[in-house]
């Protein structure tokens, strides 16, 4: 999610064909793509021919930046393609999960992505989602494998999201890989 570096561990990104980009990343890491887009292009090139999902249609400002990103991909001749989720789909998704009891202000990009996968895939396995500061053996963990930037607590509730995933696991809807992969 969100264009993480792929060079930090040997297994990260080896099967990356579909990547989400939260529009806020364009501002945080790439100055809203206003400067020469060299850093943005370098990051994209690590993903080879990945398809990028940009859930940008919730806010006009995000849409402007997302279109800027798509135009950069096109103008620089990158093979990458991006797509947006329709605003009605995002509204319906939000409404569906609110009716199911989710209290978050906004769904995380990961939760949107998982919801989308539930609509298209017969088998879903979640790897690497653990919202706690320690692993199963008590070893300290960063929030992401590449940084320890925590989500804004009034916007996202990661432990509630994890609880939803556990619920889906208990119902046989998806699999969750906890601990190291074998």
Q: Which of 17, 86, 144, 156 is catalytic?
A: 156
Among 131, 127, 178, which Cα is nearest to 150's? 131
Q: Is 86 a catalytic residue?
A: no
Is residue 82's pLDDT more than 80?
A: yes
The pLDDT of 63-80, averaged and rounded, is 91
Q: Domains in the chain, ordered, with CATH?
A: 9-176 (3.90.1480.20)
Q: Where does the pLDDT of residue 166 fall: very low under 50, low under 70, confident under 90, or very high at 90 and above?
A: very high
Q: Where would I find the beta strands (DSSP E) of the chain? A: 18-20, 51-54, 81-84, 125-127, 175-177
Question: Could you tell me what percent of the chain has a pLDDT over 70?
Answer: 92
């Amino acid at each position: 999610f969100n264009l993480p570096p792929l060079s930090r561990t040997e297994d990260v990104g080896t099967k990356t064909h579909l990547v989400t980009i939260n529009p806020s990343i364009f501002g945080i890491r790439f100055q809203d793509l206003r400067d020469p887009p060299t850093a943005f292009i370098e990051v994209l090139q690590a993903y080879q021919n990945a398809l990028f999902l940009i859930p940008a249609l919730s806010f006009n400002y995000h849409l402007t930046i997302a279109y800027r990103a798509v135009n950069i991909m096109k103008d620089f001749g990158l093979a990458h393609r991006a797509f947006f989720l329709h605003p009605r789909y995002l509204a319906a998704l939000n409404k569906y999960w609110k009716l199911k009891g989710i209290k978050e202000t906004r769904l995380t990009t990961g939760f949107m992505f998982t919801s989308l996968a539930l609509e298209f895939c017969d088998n879903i396995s979640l790897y690497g989602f653990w919202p706690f500061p320690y692993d199963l053996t008590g070893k300290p963990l960063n929030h992401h494998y590449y940084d320890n930037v925590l989500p804004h607590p009034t916007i996202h509730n990661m432990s509630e999201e994890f609880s939803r995933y556990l619920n889906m696991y208990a119902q046989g809807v998806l699999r969750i890989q906890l601990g190291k992969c074998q």
